[in-house]
Chain A
Amino acid sequence: MQVSKEEILHIANLARLNLEENEIDQYIDNLQNILNFANIVNNAPIEGLDITIGTNEAKNVFRKDEIEVFEDNKALLQNAPSQEQNMFKIPKVIQ
Protein backbone atom coordinates (compact mmCIF):
# COMPACT_ATOMS: atom_id res chain seq x y z
CA MET A 1 0.00 0.00 0.00
CA GLN A 2 1.28 3.46 -0.91
CA VAL A 3 1.14 6.12 1.77
CA SER A 4 0.13 9.54 0.45
CA LYS A 5 0.89 12.95 1.87
CA GLU A 6 -2.79 13.49 2.76
CA GLU A 7 -2.85 10.18 4.55
CA ILE A 8 0.21 10.81 6.70
CA LEU A 9 -1.09 14.24 7.64
CA HIS A 10 -4.42 12.68 8.60
CA ILE A 11 -2.67 10.02 10.73
CA ALA A 12 -0.44 12.65 12.35
CA ASN A 13 -3.50 14.72 13.19
CA LEU A 14 -5.19 11.69 14.78
CA ALA A 15 -2.04 11.18 16.87
CA ARG A 16 -1.97 14.90 17.72
CA LEU A 17 1.39 15.46 16.09
CA ASN A 18 2.47 18.28 13.77
CA LEU A 19 4.82 17.36 10.96
CA GLU A 20 6.93 20.15 9.53
CA GLU A 21 6.70 20.54 5.76
CA ASN A 22 10.36 19.51 5.38
CA GLU A 23 9.90 16.32 7.48
CA ILE A 24 6.84 14.94 5.71
CA ASP A 25 8.71 13.09 2.96
CA GLN A 26 11.03 11.51 5.50
CA TYR A 27 8.12 10.27 7.63
CA ILE A 28 6.32 8.92 4.54
CA ASP A 29 9.49 7.14 3.48
CA ASN A 30 10.07 5.60 6.93
CA LEU A 31 6.45 4.50 7.28
CA GLN A 32 6.42 3.07 3.76
CA ASN A 33 9.59 1.02 4.37
CA ILE A 34 8.31 -0.41 7.60
CA LEU A 35 4.88 -1.21 6.16
CA ASN A 36 6.51 -2.94 3.18
CA PHE A 37 8.38 -5.15 5.63
CA ALA A 38 5.39 -5.60 7.97
CA ASN A 39 3.34 -6.80 5.01
CA ILE A 40 4.84 -10.28 5.46
CA VAL A 41 2.20 -10.89 8.15
CA ASN A 42 -0.14 -11.25 5.19
CA ASN A 43 1.86 -14.27 3.98
CA ALA A 44 2.03 -16.00 7.35
CA PRO A 45 0.22 -19.36 7.71
CA ILE A 46 -2.43 -17.95 10.04
CA GLU A 47 -5.60 -19.10 8.27
CA GLY A 48 -8.19 -19.94 10.92
CA LEU A 49 -6.01 -18.96 13.92
CA ASP A 50 -7.51 -16.95 16.76
CA ILE A 51 -6.04 -13.62 17.71
CA THR A 52 -3.84 -13.28 20.80
CA ILE A 53 -4.14 -10.09 22.83
CA GLY A 54 -1.96 -11.07 25.77
CA THR A 55 0.16 -14.09 26.59
CA ASN A 56 -1.20 -14.67 30.08
CA GLU A 57 -4.08 -16.97 30.75
CA ALA A 58 -7.11 -14.91 29.80
CA LYS A 59 -9.10 -14.33 32.94
CA ASN A 60 -10.78 -11.37 34.52
CA VAL A 61 -9.12 -10.00 37.63
CA PHE A 62 -11.58 -8.53 40.09
CA ARG A 63 -11.05 -6.43 43.16
CA LYS A 64 -13.24 -4.30 45.35
CA ASP A 65 -13.60 -0.76 44.06
CA GLU A 66 -12.23 0.94 47.12
CA ILE A 67 -11.12 4.54 47.23
CA GLU A 68 -7.55 5.07 48.34
CA VAL A 69 -6.61 8.66 49.03
CA PHE A 70 -3.25 9.72 47.63
CA GLU A 71 -2.04 12.15 50.29
CA ASP A 72 0.80 13.86 48.52
CA ASN A 73 -1.04 16.44 46.39
CA LYS A 74 2.03 18.61 46.27
CA ALA A 75 4.13 15.87 44.65
CA LEU A 76 1.48 15.43 41.96
CA LEU A 77 1.04 19.10 41.22
CA GLN A 78 4.74 19.92 41.14
CA ASN A 79 4.83 18.11 37.78
CA ALA A 80 2.07 20.26 36.30
CA PRO A 81 3.34 22.63 33.61
CA SER A 82 0.86 25.21 34.86
CA GLN A 83 -1.24 25.27 38.03
CA GLU A 84 -3.31 27.60 40.13
CA GLN A 85 -4.95 27.12 43.54
CA ASN A 86 -4.06 23.42 43.66
CA MET A 87 -5.52 22.76 40.22
CA PHE A 88 -4.16 22.03 36.75
CA LYS A 89 -4.43 25.11 34.58
CA ILE A 90 -5.46 24.81 30.92
CA PRO A 91 -6.76 27.26 28.31
CA LYS A 92 -10.47 27.88 28.01
CA VAL A 93 -12.20 24.84 26.45
CA ILE A 94 -15.79 26.07 26.08
CA GLN A 95 -16.23 29.23 24.07
Chain B
Amino acid sequence: MDITELTVHELQEKLANKELTITDITKAYVDRINDKEKDVQAFVTTLTDEAMKQAEEIQAKVENGEISGKFAGIPIGIKDNMCTKGVKTTCSSKMLENFVAPYDATVVEKLNEENIINLGKLNMDEFAMGGSTEYSYFKKTKNPWDLRRVPGGSSGGSAAAVAANMVPWALGSDTGGSIRQPSSFCGVVGLKPTYGLVSRYGLVAFASSLDQIGPITKDVRDSAMLLNLIAGHDRRDTTSSEIEKKDYTKALKNDVKGLKIGVPKEFFGEGINEEVKKKLEEAIEKYKELGAEVEEFSLNVAEYALAAYYIIGCAEASSNLGRFDGIRYGYRTPEFKDLKEIYKKSRSEGFGAEVKRRIILGTYVLSSGYYDAYYKKAQQVRTLVMNEFNKGFEKYDVILTPTSPTVAFNIGSKSDNPLEMYLADICTVSVNIAGLPGISIPCGVDSQGMPIGMQLIGNKFQEETILNAAYTLEQAIKFRENYKPQFKGGAN
Protein backbone atom coordinates (compact mmCIF):
# COMPACT_ATOMS: atom_id res chain seq x y z
CA MET B 1 0.00 0.00 0.00
CA ASP B 2 1.27 3.45 -0.91
CA ILE B 3 0.07 5.58 2.01
CA THR B 4 0.39 8.83 0.08
CA GLU B 5 -2.13 7.63 -2.54
CA LEU B 6 -4.88 7.56 0.09
CA THR B 7 -7.45 10.26 0.67
CA VAL B 8 -7.87 11.70 4.16
CA HIS B 9 -11.08 9.74 4.78
CA GLU B 10 -9.22 6.56 3.80
CA LEU B 11 -6.37 7.48 6.15
CA GLN B 12 -8.92 7.96 8.93
CA GLU B 13 -10.35 4.49 8.33
CA LYS B 14 -6.89 2.92 8.46
CA LEU B 15 -6.03 4.80 11.63
CA ALA B 16 -9.30 3.70 13.21
CA ASN B 17 -8.80 0.02 12.45
CA LYS B 18 -5.12 0.25 13.40
CA GLU B 19 -3.74 -0.66 9.99
CA LEU B 20 -1.68 2.53 10.17
CA THR B 21 -0.23 4.74 12.88
CA ILE B 22 0.08 8.51 12.86
CA THR B 23 3.86 8.25 12.55
CA ASP B 24 3.53 5.85 9.57
CA ILE B 25 1.47 8.46 7.76
CA THR B 26 3.70 11.46 8.46
CA LYS B 27 6.81 9.40 7.66
CA ALA B 28 5.33 8.41 4.29
CA TYR B 29 4.65 12.06 3.43
CA VAL B 30 8.08 13.22 4.60
CA ASP B 31 9.68 10.57 2.37
CA ARG B 32 7.49 11.57 -0.53
CA ILE B 33 8.37 15.25 -0.12
CA ASN B 34 12.07 14.37 0.04
CA ASP B 35 11.67 12.35 -3.15
CA LYS B 36 9.50 14.73 -5.22
CA GLU B 37 10.25 18.27 -4.10
CA LYS B 38 13.25 18.63 -6.43
CA ASP B 39 10.97 18.00 -9.42
CA VAL B 40 7.76 19.73 -8.32
CA GLN B 41 9.10 22.56 -6.12
CA ALA B 42 5.80 23.04 -4.34
CA PHE B 43 7.09 24.29 -0.98
CA VAL B 44 8.52 27.60 0.17
CA THR B 45 9.17 26.14 3.63
CA THR B 46 9.16 22.42 4.47
CA LEU B 47 8.57 21.39 8.08
CA THR B 48 9.49 17.72 7.70
CA ASP B 49 11.59 17.41 10.90
CA GLU B 50 9.05 19.34 12.96
CA ALA B 51 6.23 17.24 11.48
CA MET B 52 7.94 13.95 12.44
CA LYS B 53 8.48 15.17 15.99
CA GLN B 54 4.88 16.34 16.22
CA ALA B 55 3.62 13.01 14.82
CA GLU B 56 5.46 11.10 17.53
CA GLU B 57 4.06 13.36 20.25
CA ILE B 58 0.51 13.11 18.94
CA GLN B 59 0.85 9.34 18.50
CA ALA B 60 1.92 9.02 22.17
CA LYS B 61 -0.92 11.25 23.36
CA VAL B 62 -3.49 9.29 21.37
CA GLU B 63 -2.13 6.00 22.74
CA ASN B 64 -2.40 7.09 26.35
CA GLY B 65 -5.81 8.61 25.79
CA GLU B 66 -4.83 12.25 26.30
CA ILE B 67 -6.31 13.28 22.97
CA SER B 68 -8.78 11.80 20.55
CA GLY B 69 -10.45 13.05 17.42
CA LYS B 70 -10.66 11.85 13.86
CA PHE B 71 -8.15 14.36 12.55
CA ALA B 72 -5.42 13.93 15.16
CA GLY B 73 -2.16 13.34 13.31
CA ILE B 74 -3.48 13.95 9.78
CA PRO B 75 -0.93 16.06 7.86
CA ILE B 76 -1.72 19.11 5.71
CA GLY B 77 0.05 21.76 3.61
CA ILE B 78 -0.81 25.47 3.87
CA LYS B 79 -0.52 28.17 1.22
CA ASP B 80 2.16 30.63 2.25
CA ASN B 81 -0.20 33.58 2.66
CA MET B 82 -1.81 32.25 5.84
CA CYS B 83 -0.11 33.24 9.07
CA THR B 84 1.52 30.45 11.05
CA LYS B 85 2.95 31.41 14.42
CA GLY B 86 6.69 30.87 14.59
CA VAL B 87 6.94 29.69 10.96
CA LYS B 88 7.74 32.02 8.04
CA THR B 89 4.83 33.41 6.04
CA THR B 90 6.36 34.88 2.90
CA CYS B 91 3.51 35.28 0.35
CA SER B 92 6.29 34.12 -2.01
CA SER B 93 7.61 37.69 -1.93
CA LYS B 94 11.01 39.20 -1.26
CA MET B 95 9.03 41.72 0.78
CA LEU B 96 8.16 39.05 3.38
CA GLU B 97 11.15 36.74 2.86
CA ASN B 98 11.95 36.74 6.59
CA PHE B 99 8.53 37.47 8.06
CA VAL B 100 7.55 35.25 10.99
CA ALA B 101 3.94 35.81 12.00
CA PRO B 102 3.45 36.41 15.71
CA TYR B 103 0.02 34.74 15.60
CA ASP B 104 -1.91 32.02 13.78
CA ALA B 105 -4.59 32.67 11.18
CA THR B 106 -8.03 31.52 12.38
CA VAL B 107 -8.01 28.62 9.91
CA VAL B 108 -4.59 27.53 11.22
CA GLU B 109 -5.84 27.75 14.81
CA LYS B 110 -8.75 25.50 13.87
CA LEU B 111 -6.40 22.93 12.31
CA ASN B 112 -4.17 23.05 15.39
CA GLU B 113 -7.16 22.43 17.66
CA GLU B 114 -7.69 19.18 15.75
CA ASN B 115 -3.99 18.23 16.14
CA ILE B 116 -3.49 18.34 12.38
CA ILE B 117 0.20 18.38 11.40
CA ASN B 118 1.57 21.13 9.14
CA LEU B 119 4.01 19.68 6.59
CA GLY B 120 4.97 23.10 5.28
CA LYS B 121 4.09 26.33 3.53
CA LEU B 122 3.23 26.10 -0.13
CA ASN B 123 4.41 28.21 -3.04
CA MET B 124 2.16 30.74 -4.80
CA ASP B 125 2.23 33.72 -7.10
CA GLU B 126 3.60 36.70 -5.16
CA PHE B 127 0.82 38.05 -2.92
CA ALA B 128 -1.55 35.65 -4.76
CA MET B 129 -1.38 37.77 -7.92
CA GLY B 130 -1.14 35.48 -10.90
CA GLY B 131 -2.47 32.35 -12.52
CA SER B 132 0.65 30.20 -12.94
CA THR B 133 2.80 30.44 -9.78
CA GLU B 134 5.55 31.79 -12.07
CA TYR B 135 5.40 35.11 -10.22
CA SER B 136 6.76 33.56 -7.01
CA TYR B 137 9.95 35.32 -5.91
CA PHE B 138 11.47 31.99 -4.83
CA LYS B 139 10.77 29.27 -7.38
CA LYS B 140 8.55 28.09 -10.19
CA THR B 141 6.36 25.18 -9.14
CA LYS B 142 5.92 22.51 -11.82
CA ASN B 143 2.77 20.66 -12.83
CA PRO B 144 3.04 17.01 -11.65
CA TRP B 145 1.26 15.81 -14.82
CA ASP B 146 3.91 17.43 -17.02
CA LEU B 147 6.84 19.18 -15.36
CA ARG B 148 7.25 21.53 -18.35
CA ARG B 149 3.89 23.09 -17.61
CA VAL B 150 2.63 25.45 -14.92
CA PRO B 151 0.50 24.14 -12.05
CA GLY B 152 -1.81 27.15 -12.37
CA GLY B 153 -2.13 29.74 -9.69
CA SER B 154 -2.06 31.47 -7.51
CA SER B 155 -2.41 28.43 -5.19
CA GLY B 156 -0.13 26.43 -7.54
CA GLY B 157 2.02 24.99 -4.76
CA SER B 158 -1.06 23.73 -2.91
CA ALA B 159 -2.62 22.09 -5.99
CA ALA B 160 0.67 20.58 -7.21
CA ALA B 161 1.51 19.20 -3.75
CA VAL B 162 -1.90 17.50 -3.49
CA ALA B 163 -1.65 16.12 -7.04
CA ALA B 164 1.89 14.82 -6.43
CA ASN B 165 0.82 13.15 -3.14
CA MET B 166 3.24 15.33 -1.18
CA VAL B 167 0.41 16.37 1.16
CA PRO B 168 -2.94 14.59 1.59
CA TRP B 169 -4.78 17.90 1.36
CA ALA B 170 -4.04 21.61 1.48
CA LEU B 171 -5.47 25.04 2.07
CA GLY B 172 -5.53 27.56 -0.75
CA SER B 173 -7.02 31.01 -1.19
CA ASP B 174 -9.13 32.27 -4.06
CA THR B 175 -9.59 35.91 -5.12
CA GLY B 176 -10.43 35.38 -8.81
CA GLY B 177 -9.95 31.63 -9.30
CA SER B 178 -6.77 30.92 -7.36
CA ILE B 179 -8.11 27.69 -5.81
CA ARG B 180 -10.22 26.43 -8.70
CA GLN B 181 -7.91 27.10 -11.66
CA PRO B 182 -4.80 25.36 -10.23
CA SER B 183 -7.03 22.50 -9.05
CA SER B 184 -8.28 22.20 -12.62
CA PHE B 185 -4.72 22.28 -14.04
CA CYS B 186 -3.51 19.66 -11.52
CA GLY B 187 -6.51 17.29 -11.66
CA VAL B 188 -7.60 17.76 -8.03
CA VAL B 189 -10.68 19.13 -6.26
CA GLY B 190 -10.74 22.82 -5.28
CA LEU B 191 -13.55 24.60 -3.47
CA LYS B 192 -13.98 28.33 -3.09
CA PRO B 193 -16.59 28.82 -0.38
CA THR B 194 -19.20 31.58 -0.31
CA TYR B 195 -17.67 34.91 0.68
CA GLY B 196 -17.98 35.09 4.45
CA LEU B 197 -18.16 31.34 5.18
CA VAL B 198 -14.49 31.07 6.22
CA SER B 199 -12.66 33.62 8.34
CA ARG B 200 -9.99 35.65 6.57
CA TYR B 201 -8.28 36.61 9.84
CA GLY B 202 -4.57 35.96 9.34
CA LEU B 203 -4.83 35.62 5.56
CA VAL B 204 -2.52 38.24 4.07
CA ALA B 205 -5.01 40.50 2.28
CA PHE B 206 -4.98 40.89 -1.51
CA ALA B 207 -8.53 42.08 -2.31
CA SER B 208 -10.59 41.99 0.86
CA SER B 209 -14.04 41.92 -0.75
CA LEU B 210 -13.08 38.93 -2.95
CA ASP B 211 -10.59 36.78 -0.96
CA GLN B 212 -11.74 33.43 0.49
CA ILE B 213 -9.80 30.48 1.93
CA GLY B 214 -10.81 26.99 0.83
CA PRO B 215 -9.79 23.33 0.56
CA ILE B 216 -7.73 21.67 -2.18
CA THR B 217 -8.16 17.91 -1.91
CA LYS B 218 -7.95 14.60 -3.74
CA ASP B 219 -11.68 14.04 -3.69
CA VAL B 220 -14.99 15.68 -2.88
CA ARG B 221 -15.49 13.92 0.48
CA ASP B 222 -12.17 15.33 1.72
CA SER B 223 -13.25 18.75 0.47
CA ALA B 224 -16.44 18.58 2.54
CA MET B 225 -14.48 17.39 5.59
CA LEU B 226 -11.92 20.19 5.38
CA LEU B 227 -14.69 22.74 4.88
CA ASN B 228 -16.31 21.40 8.08
CA LEU B 229 -13.10 22.20 9.92
CA ILE B 230 -12.53 25.75 8.64
CA ALA B 231 -16.05 27.20 8.19
CA GLY B 232 -17.67 29.40 10.80
CA HIS B 233 -18.07 32.88 12.19
CA ASP B 234 -15.04 34.61 13.66
CA ARG B 235 -15.37 37.84 15.64
CA ARG B 236 -11.94 38.86 14.29
CA ASP B 237 -13.30 38.92 10.72
CA THR B 238 -16.43 41.05 10.73
CA THR B 239 -17.25 39.96 7.17
CA SER B 240 -17.52 36.34 8.28
CA SER B 241 -21.16 35.28 8.38
CA GLU B 242 -23.09 34.03 11.35
CA ILE B 243 -24.68 31.00 9.77
CA GLU B 244 -25.45 27.68 11.40
CA LYS B 245 -22.70 25.08 11.56
CA LYS B 246 -23.27 22.26 9.07
CA ASP B 247 -21.80 18.83 8.42
CA TYR B 248 -21.08 19.10 4.69
CA THR B 249 -20.33 15.38 4.35
CA LYS B 250 -24.02 14.70 5.00
CA ALA B 251 -24.81 16.41 1.71
CA LEU B 252 -22.93 13.77 -0.29
CA LYS B 253 -25.88 11.66 -1.44
CA ASN B 254 -24.56 10.35 -4.77
CA ASP B 255 -27.86 11.33 -6.31
CA VAL B 256 -28.68 14.19 -8.67
CA LYS B 257 -32.17 13.08 -9.76
CA GLY B 258 -34.22 16.20 -10.41
CA LEU B 259 -31.29 18.54 -9.83
CA LYS B 260 -31.61 21.54 -12.13
CA ILE B 261 -28.35 22.38 -13.85
CA GLY B 262 -28.00 25.53 -15.94
CA VAL B 263 -25.30 25.68 -18.61
CA PRO B 264 -24.49 29.25 -19.65
CA LYS B 265 -23.76 29.17 -23.39
CA GLU B 266 -21.43 32.20 -23.18
CA PHE B 267 -19.00 30.10 -21.15
CA PHE B 268 -18.66 27.62 -24.02
CA GLY B 269 -17.99 30.09 -26.81
CA GLU B 270 -14.93 31.59 -28.44
CA GLY B 271 -11.65 31.08 -26.63
CA ILE B 272 -12.66 27.84 -24.95
CA ASN B 273 -10.44 25.00 -26.13
CA GLU B 274 -12.28 22.34 -28.17
CA GLU B 275 -11.01 19.43 -26.08
CA VAL B 276 -12.12 21.21 -22.89
CA LYS B 277 -15.55 21.76 -24.45
CA LYS B 278 -15.81 18.11 -25.47
CA LYS B 279 -15.04 16.78 -21.98
CA LEU B 280 -17.50 19.20 -20.44
CA GLU B 281 -20.17 18.03 -22.88
CA GLU B 282 -19.47 14.43 -21.84
CA ALA B 283 -19.88 15.44 -18.19
CA ILE B 284 -23.18 17.12 -19.06
CA GLU B 285 -24.37 13.93 -20.80
CA LYS B 286 -23.39 11.95 -17.70
CA TYR B 287 -25.43 14.27 -15.50
CA LYS B 288 -28.44 13.72 -17.78
CA GLU B 289 -27.99 9.93 -17.52
CA LEU B 290 -27.87 10.32 -13.74
CA GLY B 291 -31.25 12.03 -13.79
CA ALA B 292 -30.35 15.72 -13.59
CA GLU B 293 -32.30 18.22 -15.65
CA VAL B 294 -29.79 20.16 -17.76
CA GLU B 295 -30.69 23.27 -19.71
CA GLU B 296 -28.71 25.83 -21.66
CA PHE B 297 -29.28 29.48 -20.78
CA SER B 298 -27.72 32.89 -21.27
CA LEU B 299 -25.46 34.44 -18.63
CA ASN B 300 -23.73 37.26 -20.40
CA VAL B 301 -21.45 38.46 -17.63
CA ALA B 302 -18.02 36.86 -18.04
CA GLU B 303 -16.20 39.66 -19.87
CA TYR B 304 -17.74 42.46 -17.83
CA ALA B 305 -16.95 40.56 -14.65
CA LEU B 306 -13.34 40.03 -15.71
CA ALA B 307 -12.85 43.74 -16.39
CA ALA B 308 -14.56 44.64 -13.10
CA TYR B 309 -12.44 42.07 -11.31
CA TYR B 310 -9.16 43.62 -12.41
CA ILE B 311 -10.38 47.11 -11.53
CA ILE B 312 -11.77 46.21 -8.10
CA GLY B 313 -9.12 43.63 -7.23
CA CYS B 314 -6.24 45.95 -8.08
CA ALA B 315 -7.88 48.93 -6.35
CA GLU B 316 -8.24 46.93 -3.15
CA ALA B 317 -4.72 45.53 -3.53
CA SER B 318 -3.21 48.98 -3.96
CA SER B 319 -4.81 49.96 -0.67
CA ASN B 320 -4.05 46.70 1.19
CA LEU B 321 -0.42 46.63 0.10
CA GLY B 322 0.08 50.16 1.37
CA ARG B 323 1.04 48.60 4.70
CA PHE B 324 4.33 47.37 3.30
CA ASP B 325 6.46 50.37 4.08
CA GLY B 326 9.71 48.92 5.45
CA ILE B 327 9.02 50.09 9.01
CA ARG B 328 7.40 47.47 11.25
CA TYR B 329 8.00 44.31 9.23
CA GLY B 330 9.06 43.24 5.79
CA TYR B 331 11.92 44.28 3.57
CA ARG B 332 13.73 47.58 4.14
CA THR B 333 16.14 49.03 1.61
CA PRO B 334 19.69 49.21 2.98
CA GLU B 335 20.36 52.79 1.86
CA PHE B 336 18.08 55.80 2.27
CA LYS B 337 18.20 59.46 3.20
CA ASP B 338 14.72 60.05 4.57
CA LEU B 339 11.40 58.40 5.37
CA LYS B 340 9.91 58.84 1.91
CA GLU B 341 12.94 57.16 0.41
CA ILE B 342 12.55 54.19 2.80
CA TYR B 343 9.00 53.78 1.53
CA LYS B 344 9.77 54.12 -2.14
CA LYS B 345 12.97 52.11 -2.31
CA SER B 346 11.75 49.35 0.05
CA ARG B 347 8.58 48.90 -1.99
CA SER B 348 10.30 49.13 -5.36
CA GLU B 349 12.97 46.59 -4.37
CA GLY B 350 10.66 44.34 -2.30
CA PHE B 351 7.77 43.86 -4.74
CA GLY B 352 7.99 41.95 -8.03
CA ALA B 353 6.88 43.36 -11.39
CA GLU B 354 3.37 41.85 -11.38
CA VAL B 355 2.61 43.21 -7.90
CA LYS B 356 3.83 46.65 -8.97
CA ARG B 357 1.72 46.47 -12.14
CA ARG B 358 -1.39 45.79 -10.08
CA ILE B 359 -0.64 48.46 -7.50
CA ILE B 360 -0.18 50.97 -10.33
CA LEU B 361 -3.42 49.92 -12.04
CA GLY B 362 -5.25 50.04 -8.70
CA THR B 363 -3.87 53.46 -7.82
CA TYR B 364 -4.77 54.70 -11.31
CA VAL B 365 -8.42 53.60 -11.19
CA LEU B 366 -8.83 55.12 -7.73
CA SER B 367 -7.16 58.40 -8.63
CA SER B 368 -9.04 61.61 -9.18
CA GLY B 369 -10.40 61.83 -12.72
CA TYR B 370 -10.61 58.07 -13.27
CA TYR B 371 -12.59 56.93 -10.23
CA ASP B 372 -15.96 57.44 -11.93
CA ALA B 373 -14.85 56.02 -15.29
CA TYR B 374 -13.41 52.82 -13.88
CA TYR B 375 -13.88 52.09 -10.19
CA LYS B 376 -17.48 53.24 -9.85
CA LYS B 377 -18.48 51.56 -13.11
CA ALA B 378 -16.84 48.33 -11.96
CA GLN B 379 -18.87 48.44 -8.75
CA GLN B 380 -22.04 48.84 -10.80
CA VAL B 381 -20.96 45.91 -12.97
CA ARG B 382 -20.67 43.97 -9.74
CA THR B 383 -24.35 44.62 -9.09
CA LEU B 384 -25.15 43.53 -12.66
CA VAL B 385 -23.24 40.27 -12.24
CA MET B 386 -25.00 39.52 -8.94
CA ASN B 387 -28.41 40.27 -10.49
CA GLU B 388 -27.72 37.99 -13.47
CA PHE B 389 -26.63 35.14 -11.21
CA ASN B 390 -29.71 35.68 -9.04
CA LYS B 391 -31.87 35.29 -12.15
CA GLY B 392 -30.01 32.09 -12.98
CA PHE B 393 -30.57 30.68 -9.50
CA GLU B 394 -34.29 31.34 -9.74
CA LYS B 395 -34.33 28.57 -12.36
CA TYR B 396 -31.33 26.38 -11.54
CA ASP B 397 -29.75 24.79 -8.48
CA VAL B 398 -26.30 24.67 -10.01
CA ILE B 399 -24.53 26.48 -12.85
CA LEU B 400 -21.99 24.41 -14.78
CA THR B 401 -19.00 25.86 -16.70
CA PRO B 402 -15.41 24.97 -17.57
CA THR B 403 -13.01 26.01 -14.78
CA SER B 404 -10.47 27.31 -17.26
CA PRO B 405 -10.60 27.85 -21.04
CA THR B 406 -7.53 25.60 -21.48
CA VAL B 407 -5.50 22.92 -19.76
CA ALA B 408 -2.22 23.84 -18.05
CA PHE B 409 0.03 25.87 -20.37
CA ASN B 410 3.80 25.71 -20.76
CA ILE B 411 6.05 27.49 -18.29
CA GLY B 412 7.09 30.85 -19.76
CA SER B 413 4.39 30.95 -22.43
CA LYS B 414 2.29 33.72 -20.83
CA SER B 415 4.44 35.28 -18.13
CA ASP B 416 5.53 38.17 -20.37
CA ASN B 417 2.00 39.05 -21.44
CA PRO B 418 -0.02 40.18 -18.40
CA LEU B 419 -3.26 40.72 -20.31
CA GLU B 420 -3.20 37.21 -21.78
CA MET B 421 -2.60 35.80 -18.30
CA TYR B 422 -5.58 37.82 -17.01
CA LEU B 423 -7.88 36.50 -19.76
CA ALA B 424 -7.26 32.95 -18.50
CA ASP B 425 -9.39 33.83 -15.43
CA ILE B 426 -12.50 34.41 -17.57
CA CYS B 427 -14.49 31.42 -16.21
CA THR B 428 -13.74 31.88 -12.51
CA VAL B 429 -13.76 35.59 -11.60
CA SER B 430 -17.49 36.21 -11.85
CA VAL B 431 -17.98 33.79 -8.94
CA ASN B 432 -15.81 36.01 -6.69
CA ILE B 433 -17.42 39.19 -8.00
CA ALA B 434 -20.82 37.78 -6.94
CA GLY B 435 -19.51 36.20 -3.70
CA LEU B 436 -20.78 32.72 -4.64
CA PRO B 437 -19.37 29.25 -3.90
CA GLY B 438 -17.66 27.36 -6.73
CA ILE B 439 -15.99 23.99 -6.94
CA SER B 440 -13.66 22.58 -9.60
CA ILE B 441 -13.45 18.84 -10.12
CA PRO B 442 -11.52 16.93 -12.77
CA CYS B 443 -13.76 15.50 -15.50
CA GLY B 444 -11.20 13.92 -17.83
CA VAL B 445 -7.91 14.51 -19.66
CA ASP B 446 -7.08 15.92 -23.09
CA SER B 447 -5.14 14.18 -25.89
CA GLN B 448 -1.86 15.10 -24.15
CA GLY B 449 -3.04 13.51 -20.93
CA MET B 450 -3.56 16.84 -19.14
CA PRO B 451 -6.48 17.14 -16.71
CA ILE B 452 -9.59 19.18 -17.57
CA GLY B 453 -11.61 20.82 -14.82
CA MET B 454 -15.34 21.43 -14.54
CA GLN B 455 -16.72 24.21 -12.37
CA LEU B 456 -20.01 24.00 -10.49
CA ILE B 457 -21.34 27.28 -9.11
CA GLY B 458 -23.96 27.42 -6.36
CA ASN B 459 -26.13 30.07 -4.82
CA LYS B 460 -24.84 31.78 -1.67
CA PHE B 461 -24.15 29.35 1.18
CA GLN B 462 -25.38 26.42 -0.95
CA GLU B 463 -22.07 24.54 -0.68
CA GLU B 464 -24.05 21.37 0.04
CA THR B 465 -25.70 21.48 -3.38
CA ILE B 466 -22.48 21.84 -5.37
CA LEU B 467 -20.63 19.34 -3.18
CA ASN B 468 -23.31 16.72 -3.81
CA ALA B 469 -23.41 17.45 -7.53
CA ALA B 470 -19.60 17.21 -7.70
CA TYR B 471 -19.56 14.04 -5.60
CA THR B 472 -22.16 12.33 -7.77
CA LEU B 473 -20.21 12.95 -10.98
CA GLU B 474 -16.97 11.94 -9.27
CA GLN B 475 -18.50 8.59 -8.28
CA ALA B 476 -19.71 8.07 -11.85
CA ILE B 477 -16.53 8.91 -13.76
CA LYS B 478 -13.91 7.73 -11.25
CA PHE B 479 -11.20 10.12 -12.41
CA ARG B 480 -8.69 9.23 -9.68
CA GLU B 481 -8.94 5.51 -10.45
CA ASN B 482 -8.36 6.13 -14.15
CA TYR B 483 -5.72 8.87 -14.32
CA LYS B 484 -2.59 9.65 -12.37
CA PRO B 485 0.11 12.32 -12.71
CA GLN B 486 3.08 10.95 -14.67
CA PHE B 487 5.73 13.60 -13.89
CA LYS B 488 6.39 13.81 -17.63
CA GLY B 489 9.33 15.83 -18.96
CA GLY B 490 11.49 15.48 -15.86
CA ALA B 491 15.28 15.37 -15.94
CA ASN B 492 15.35 11.68 -14.95
Contacts and interface: CB of A to CB of B under 8 A. Distances in A.
Interface in A33-65: 33-35, 37-42, 44-46, 49-56, 61, 63
Interface in B356-384: 356-357, 359-365, 367, 370, 373-374, 376-384
A93 B374 contact: no
Interface string A60-83: 010100000010100110111110
Say what secondary structure dominates the interface of chain A: loop
B99 interface: yes
Contact of A93 (B209, B238, B339): B339
A51 B383 contact: yes
A56 to B, nearest CB: 5
Interface residues of B, number: 71
Contacts of B311: 38, 41
A27 B310 CA distance: 16
Contacts of B331: 81
A17 B383 contact: no
A81 B330 contact: yes
Interface string B93-119: 000001110100000000000000000
Interface residues of A, number: 50
Interface stretch (B36-44, B149-157, B178-186, B341-349): B341-349
Contacts of A30: 357, 418-419
Interface string B415-438: 000110010000000000011000
B264 interface: no
Interface in B308-367: 308, 310-311, 318, 322, 325-332, 336-340, 342-345, 347-348, 351, 356-357, 359-365, 367
A34 B365 CA distance: 11
Interface string A1-39: 101000010011011111100000001001101110111
Contacts of A90: 327, 339, 342
A91 B336 contact: yes
A16 B343 contact: yes
B379 A17 contact: no
Nearest to B356: A17
Contacts of B328: 76, 79-80, 88
A62 B327 CA distance: 31
Contacts of A14: 363, 367
Contact of B379 (A18, A37, A39, A51): A51
B100 A27 contact: no
A34 B361 contact: yes
A33 B364 CA distance: 14
Nearest to A62: B238
Contacts of A82: 332
Given A55-B386, A56-B239, A81-B331, A34 B379 contact: no
Contacts of A41: 304, 307-308, 311, 374, 377-378, 380-381
B53 interface: no
A53 B379 contact: yes
The 7 closest A-B pairs by CB, nearest first: A55-B435, A81-B332, A75-B102, A51-B379, A79-B329, A52-B382, A46-B380
Given A27-B360, A39-B307, 12 more contacts: A17-B356, A34-B361, A41-B374, A46-B383, A55-B195, A55-B196, A56-B239, A56-B435, A70-B102, A79-B328, A92-B338, A93-B339
Interface of A: 1, 3, 8, 11-12, 14-19, 27, 30-31, 33-35, 37-42, 44-46, 49-56, 61, 63, 70, 72, 75-76, 78-82, 88, 90-93
14 contacts: A1-B373, A11-B360, A11-B363, A11-B367, A15-B318, A16-B322, A16-B344, A41-B381, A46-B381, A46-B384, A49-B387, A53-B209, A53-B379, A88-B327
